[in-house]
Structure 1
Amino acid sequence: MNARQAYAAEQRRRRIRLSFLLLITFLLSTLFLFAGRYPKAGFTFPSNLADPMVNTILLQIRLPRILLALLAGAMLSASGFTFQMLFSNPLVEPGFLGVSQGSAFGAALMIVLGTASSVLVQVSATVFGLGALLASYLLAQRFRFGGALLRLVLSGIAVSAIFSSALGVVKLVAEPTKDLQDITFWMMGGLWNASWNQILSILSVVAACLVILFCYRWKLNLLSLQEKTSFSVGLNPKRDRVLLLVVATIGTTLTISITGLIGWVGLITPHLGRKLFGSDSSYSFPGSMILGSLFLLVCDTIGRTLLPTEIPIGLLTSFLGAIIFIVILSLKHQEGKA
């Protein structure tokens, strides 16, 4: 087999893996639609579909929740993959430049101010998340130490610390029996408030962000190289990096403004995507998106069915993500020894 045939065979294998992941995600989504605690813990059988309450639960509660899990998982994973490639750092996730901390502060601030509107909480979280990105970028222009990416990393650390401190102050003055509990639950993440209206409120923008990132996926390999190398092949590294960072941040902030803080999805799924599809982002990027959707779907289903009370999804993604991360690092260590 010559090099061209070997390359074509590898491409076919990657397409088959992508198709298999899509099929698994569709089948599990359909299966999990019937998993819950009504009319009793377990699965809803066809004999129960005559009950109007069962149909309402399936179509108005579980279905939008599953779709939100798929959408949020894809967006967080796509953002994490983009950040990791742009910074050439496998330990980066969407909150790397203070985005998550800024969004958390914005949501907590609106909760403490006493608003009853979830839309205002969503808008505030989005605005402050974008503000954190802008602050990191402007602050990086003032630094005189290291290269452009290193300055952005350092400014992100500083901005994250500032917003984390501000969030601590907001939690300190929050009313303990209500506002503080709302802030705590938001920061643990959850899809219990999922509805068709919430999905529609972010669908167009998040879908546009995913399309833009998907169309730029082939450039991510080049942008992960040194800036001179990227420029030599006809790219504008500074413009493209800023564009992708802004798009990834907008999608992330809109997502977590509804779901709350959900960690590890944007960190662990790009690792799994590259492990299954290799370093070529043409395949590993969509593979990571599907894995992100699948990971969040499984975590949410476990969280709402395992115990009588719901487990916040952020706790499950952190727990399972950390275990997967340990396994990946252990396997890489063993491969290195071999």
Structure 2
Amino acid sequence: MRRRAWVLSRTLLPVAALALLVLVSLASGKFPVPVAEVFAILARKLVGVAAQADPAAQAVVLQVRLPRVAAALVVGAALSAAGATYQGLFRNPLVSPDILGVSAGAGLGAVLGIFLSLPVLAIQGFAFAGGLGAVAVVYAVGALVRRHDPVLTLVLAGVAVGAVLGSAISLLKVLADPYNQLPAITYWLLGSLSAVTLSDVGAILPAIGLGLLPLVLLRWRMNLMSLGEEEARALGVETRWLRPLFVAAATLVTAAAVSVTGVIGWIGLIVPHVARGLVGPDFRRLLPASALLGAGYLTAVDLVARTIAPIEVPLGILTALVGAPFFLWLLAAGRRGWA
């Protein structure tokens, strides 16, 4: 009985903390709204409870802050879950969703869409296709090289393809209109939730759900995959199809998230590591813990981004300010192991 209460408390406390953070985020900003009024607005919207609310406050909460908070929750959870998957597959805490060129491919797709002056929906589609296409190229290169270590081959191919995609992005930035296109490109590459709508969040949910499904259903096999190629095969795991499945699922999740928010770095690197320190390396616990922490982390970062200065700070700047020192600490502590 006592153990059940302990497990229940460990489950409910993080959820309650995340719910409190969501309320604070909905209430805070240039136009502050009391938490009680936020409750009244949400109750009236969600369950039809009769409640009086200031029309201006209702518009701010429902039309401005609720879409970006929802996007922060979904995207933060998605990027963190993808990061935990990549780190488990490659057996390295310094790996993130960027390792196979997902973010670079999505960035090139979006930059190309902006350069061609396409509508927002088309830009998001280009970003999504670019992220998936980049990983497909990495896997094709890895299949051609066929080194003894498939993990090292994928990492090296991802670095090379990412460098090429980064050069293409730089070329388009040079050719872009410096007054209209270049600011939009720069802002998108730094990541932001300011233009996200609830329809955007709804549009990426099916892809994110489809990507998370195999990760959840096969989460116990990730523990075997993290042992290494030969050890996993000795235990009966078909790594030849399971590794591409996990990579495809994590890539789908990452590409869908990046397609609507822009490139938000470091989340997939630092959040899974923190979650691993809290719940251990067992992927069955690590996956939900990473998703929950990632949702809260990006929500908190977005809150800081829109309140720390008179103008909104791009999310990529803040995540880099936290992530880069954390990365250096990981490098310094790497000799102690990560599992």
Look up the match of 2:104.
Answer: 101
Look up the match of 2:113.
Answer: 110
The 3-state SS of whatever aligns with 1:305 is: coil
The equivalent position to 1:29 in structure 2, one of 19, 22, 29, is 22
Write the distance in 1 (CA, Å) between the matches of 2:190 and 2:180.
16
Write the distance in 1 (CA, Å) between the matches of 2:129 and 2:149.
28
Q: Aligned in 2, Cα 1:209/1:13: closer, same or farther, shift over 3 Å?
A: farther
Write the distance in 2 (CA, Å) between the matches of 1:171 and 1:225.
42
Q: Aligned in 2, Cα 1:144/1:247: closer, same or farther, shift over 3 Å?
A: closer
The equivalent position to 1:88 in structure 2, one of 87, 91, 94, is 91
Look up the match of 2:166.
Answer: 164
**For residues 135-188 of structure 1, what are the alpha-carbon distances to aligned partners after superposition, in whole Å with 9 as ceiling and x for unaligned?**
000101111544111111111111111111111111110000110110000001
Which TM-score applies when normalising by structure 2? 0.89
Which TM-score applies when normalising by structure 1? 0.89
The equivalent position to 2:54 in structure 1, one of 51, 56, 77, is 51
Is 1:319 the equivalent of 2:321? Answer: yes
Is 1:74 the equivalent of 2:77? Answer: yes
Q: Aligned in 2, Cα 1:304/1:241: closer, same or farther, shift over 3 Å?
A: same
The 3-state SS of whatever aligns with 2:306 is: helix
Q: Aligned in 2, Cα 1:12/1:157: closer, same or farther, shift over 3 Å?
A: farther
The one-letter code sitting in structure 2 at the alignment partner of 1:124 is F
The one-letter code sitting in structure 2 at the alignment partner of 1:23 is A
More off after superposition, 321-330 vs 144-153: 321-330
- Aligned-residue CA RMSD in angstroms? 2.4
Write the distance in 1 (CA, Å) between the matches of 2:178 and 2:161.
27
Q: How does 1:120-199 map to 2 (within 5 A)?
A: 120-199=122-201
Write the distance in 2 (CA, Å) between the matches of 1:35 and 1:72.
20
**For residues 70-119 of structure 1, what are the alpha-carbon distances to aligned partners after superposition, in whole Å with 9 as ceiling and x for unaligned?**
0000000000000011011111111111111111111001101111x111
Residues 33 and 57 of structure 2 are in contact (CA less than 8 Å); yes or no, is this contact kept in structure 1? no
Following superposition, the deviation at residue 12 of structure 1 comes to 7.4
The 3-state SS of whatever aligns with 2:227 is: coil
* Structure 1: segments with no counterpart, 5+ residues: 1-7
Residues 61 and 194 of structure 1 are in contact (CA less than 8 Å); yes or no, is this contact kept in structure 2? no
The one-letter code sitting in structure 2 at the alignment partner of 1:313 is L
* Structure 2: segments with no counterpart, 5+ residues: 39-51
Write the distance in 1 (CA, Å) between the matches of 2:294 and 2:107.
21
Following superposition, the deviation at residue 44 of structure 1 comes to 3.6
Look up the match of 2:46.
Answer: none
The one-letter code sitting in structure 2 at the alignment partner of 1:30 is L
The one-letter code sitting in structure 1 at the alignment partner of 2:100 is L
Write the distance in 1 (CA, Å) between the matches of 2:121 and 2:307.
28
Identical aligned pairs, as a percentage? 37
